[in-house]
Amino acid sequence: MKASLKFLVVSLFLSFSGFSQQIPQYSQWYFNQFAGNPAHAGIKRCVDVHTLYRNQWAGFDGAPKSGFLTVSIPLYKKRKQYLSARQGTGFKFERDQIGQFSTSRLNVAYAAHFNFDKTKRLSLGVFAGVIQLGYDPSSVFVSEVDPAVLNQASIVSPDASFGAWFNDVNYFVGLSFQNLIPTRWNDVGLSSKTFMHIAFNAGYRYSISEELSLIPAFNLRVPMRGKSDIDLNLFLDIKNTIGLGVGYRNTDAIIAFLSIKINQQFAINYSFDYTLSDIQKGANNTHEISLRFSTCKIKKTSTASCPLF
């Protein structure tokens, strides 16, 4: 059995036994909140489109490759008073590939947004859809024929997530619960199933001047049957046009970020993860690139405004 196949078998065992994260993790979570939290559906008064591709441990045979496409759409409704809900919808398609194993999700989102005053807002949302787990042995090479390795397998199950989000002008707090419906894959093992994951994140904007703002943020991920990890990030926003950032993930990497906006409607983001774990001995580092398009036409009152709010 080749080394890459051994890696895949170990990865699958860890993933479905619950000793590691079962959903993709993204360094650019800060720029793509809707991908992880359905409460962001329609949070802005315009259509928001995001797409992202992550090449993890580049050069490692069978290493994870992940990506998604999200579309967030506001549902227009005239607010009669505070605490009457403004609504939003959207969808997410996500795919995660680890060697011969793949996970695909298609979810539709609904969210309600409640304003306590002009700036304080609580949002609640749900994702509902389907998840497909697949195994394609076409690229597997073994010395002896083994049906357990060479048989193709696939399973489709329901999928659901719940999210909450609160923000004011200068801060945000988010909480999401993913994999709410356990998915069993008996072809892999009787105990092979998905487990709920919890993500908790927050950030605060410090205005240095009319053109500069500093935003510390964190994202804590807690799988119910695995090891938790946390991203600590620090972003510098320049004229709401160029963003620079650094980050640290306690389990794996040091991260660098670059974000460039064009006419406030287009944005391109790039991040580079320098691997700190032992995987560095056999793999290169991780690259992530995302694109964003928004129909929002921002009326600038300050060039240091935060893109999340």
Record the pTM.
Answer: 0.84
CB 201 within 8 A of CB 217: yes
Amino acid present at 59: G
Q: How far is residue 237's CA from residue 261's CA, in Å, rounded to a whole number?
A: 11
Q: How far is residue 196's CA from residue 180's CA, in Å, rounded to a whole number?
A: 5
Query: Confidence class of residue 284 from pLDDT cuts 50, 70 and 90?
Result: confident
Of residues 159, 111, 172, the one with CA closest to residue 133 = 159
CB 31 within 8 A of CB 37: no
For the chain, the structural domain boundaries read: 3-294
Phi then psi for 279, rounded to 5 degrees? -60, -25
Say if strands 101-115 and 86-98 run parallel, antiparallel, or are unpaired. antiparallel
Query: Confidence class of residue 20 from pLDDT cuts 50, 70 and 90?
Result: low
| 152 C-beta neighbours (distance < 10 Å), count | 11
Q: Is 139 helix (H, G, I), strand (E, B) or coil?
A: helix
Fold exhibited by the domain 3-294:
Porin (2.40.160)
Phi then psi for 150, rounded to 5 degrees? -95, -5
Q: How far is residue 294's CA from residue 190's CA, in Å, rounded to a whole number?
A: 45
pLDDT digit string, tens, across residues 210-261: 899 999 999 999 998 778 999 999 999 998 899 999 999 998 899 999 999 9
296: tokens are 């929002």
What confidence score (pLDDT) does residue 60 get? 75
Q: Is 42 helix (H, G, I), strand (E, B) or coil?
A: coil
| 299 C-beta neighbours (distance < 10 Å), count | 5
22-31, 177-186, 190-199: lowest mean pLDDT where? 190-199
What confidence score (pLDDT) does residue 186 get? 66
Q: How far is residue 173's CA from residue 40's CA, in Å, rounded to a whole number?
A: 12
CB 229 within 8 A of CB 255: no
Amino acid present at 60: F
The per-residue pLDDT of the chain, averaged, comes to 83
Q: Where are the alpha helices (DSSP H) in 143-197?
A: 147-150
Q: How far is residue 107's CA from residue 94's CA, in Å, rounded to a whole number?
A: 9
Q: How far is residue 241's CA from residue 125's CA, in Å, rounded to a whole number?
A: 29
CB 222 within 8 A of CB 250: no
